[in-house]
Amino acid sequence: MDEIKQFLGTTPVITREAKDAARAQLMRAMREPLPRPARRRTFRIPRLAWRFGIATVAASALLVGYGMVRGDDRSTAYADVRELGERAAKAAERDHDEAYTRTPSPGQWLYVKESLAPLIAEPRPEVDLDKRETLELWYSLDGERLAMDDGTGKIIIEKVGTGLKGADLAQEPVTPDAVLAKVRASVAATPASPFEMGMPEQERAFQTISTLMGGQPLTPQVRAALFRALPKIDGVSVKQDAVDAAGRHGVAFAYTGVRERFEIIVGAEDYRFLGVYGENVADHPFPGEGGPAAPPEVMKLAGTVKAGAPLVWSAHLETKVVDKPGTRPQQ
């Protein structure tokens, strides 16, 4: 008897759902234009700003958790991403927690503390899954600015964000299609950053929703509409078991693009944000000195990031509205 051949031979075959999802990913890849090299600009972004940009990209993908709610739905299996979106939306609609529904005053900021897998070595964009750093960010509630400690205790503020605000999304009609249309309009009206060059519209929409949900206090109706909008974006699927950088297990909204795949991980029971994971799906070169926005005479390709290389992994630790950047909740 050939025991090795039979070993684990009763492992279940691929499900119809997984097969369809894989086929859909492949078909999307077939229909999308080939990824183009990042467009080069005629000015050089300072090195600190480049690092800031990387942090922003990472943070924008992880912030879906703010405004997540505690629900009582303990089922952890989802037939598809629509079911995940629907359950999360219903939990959002049921929520009456003041911490998530109160309206902040204009000019306030959202404080976010997270644990993040750091880069292995700049400029390589691959993170070290065995190490952690703590990062504190402050998002302006107008959705346009982000502040962080520059490493010396000085708080610096950068203009970032979607330009969309929670108040914009709260204007009627607040439906999944309506909020998604606003998100897409915002994406279309906002030039791609150096880190978004070649990124498909649907990937930028996914990132925008993440940023909105994380960086803006949203009404329960808006949160519910965004949860139901996520499955309407091509390339978004459910990952049944995802793990954040703190080792917590949850479920994820996952987006697979031409070059990268991101997971927004939420609690499988309460849909609170846990963290984000992202990785390459294909080998591609990364830039050296100067970053992707550096002029040709400065930017040099430093190497290749392999398919499967982790690009971001985080755990969301604390969120609170504060009066100004640099203010921490205990202060």
Partner 1 sequence: MTQTHPADPAEVDTAEVDTAEVDTTEVDAAEVDDAELIRWSREDPERFAGLFDRYIERIHRFVARRLGTQAADDIAAETFLTAFRSRASYDPAQRLAGPWLYGIATNLIAKHRRGEERFLRALSRTGANPLSEPPMADTVVGRVAAQEVDRRLAGALASMSSADRDVLLLVAWGELTYEEVAAVLKVPIGTVRSRLHRARKKARVALGGDDPTREVA
The residue (of 19 and 39) whose beta carbon lies closer to partner 1 is 19
Given a contact cutoff of 8 angstroms between Cβ atoms, the answer to whether 170 and 222 are in contact is: yes
Which residues share a beta bridge with 252?
239, 265
Taking residues 68 to 107 in sequence order and writing x for each that binds partner 1 by CB under 8 A, - otherwise, the string is ----------------------------------------
Query: What is the phi-psi region of residue 208: left when phi exceeds 0, alpha when psi lies from -120 to 50, beta otherwise?
Result: alpha
* Cβ-based neighbours of 47, under 8 Å, separated by 6 or more: 290, 291
Contact segment (CB under 8 A) with partner 1 among 10-18, 51-59, 82-90, 199-207 equals 10-18
Candidate list 282, 302, 317, 322; residue touching partner 1; CB under 8 A: 282
Decide: is 329 part of the binding site for partner 1 (CB under 8 A).
Answer: no
Given a contact cutoff of 8 angstroms between Cβ atoms, the answer to whether 287 and 303 are in contact is: no
Structure tokens at 119: 């880069």
Q: Please, what is the minimum distance in Å from the beta carbon of residue 110 to partner 1?
A: 32
Return the DSSP state at 26: H
Contact segment (CB under 8 A) with partner 1 among 24-32, 64-72, 144-152, 157-165 equals 24-32
Q: Please, what is the minimum distance in Å from the beta carbon of residue 35 to partner 1?
A: 9
CA 164 – CA 307 distance, rounded (Å): 33
Decide: is 331 part of the binding site for partner 1 (CB under 8 A).
Answer: no
Contact segment (CB under 8 A) with partner 1 among 1-9, 150-158, 220-228, 269-277 equals 1-9
Taking residues 216 to 255 in sequence order and writing x for each that binds partner 1 by CB under 8 A, - otherwise, the string is -----------------------xxx--------------
DSSP assignments along 64-109, one per residue:
GGTT-----------SSHHHHHHHHHHHHHH---HHHH--PPTT-E
Query: What is the phi-psi region of residue 260: left when phi exceeds 0, alpha when psi lies from -120 to 50, beta otherwise?
Result: beta
Contact segment (CB under 8 A) with partner 1 among 17-25, 113-121, 184-192, 312-320 equals 17-25
The whole-angstrom distance between residue 267's C-alpha and the CA centroid of its chain comes to 15
Decide: is 10 part of the binding site for partner 1 (CB under 8 A).
Answer: yes
Q: Which residues contact partner 1 (rule: CB under 8 A)? A: 1-5, 7-15, 18-19, 21-23, 25-27, 29-31, 239-241, 256, 281-282, 307-308
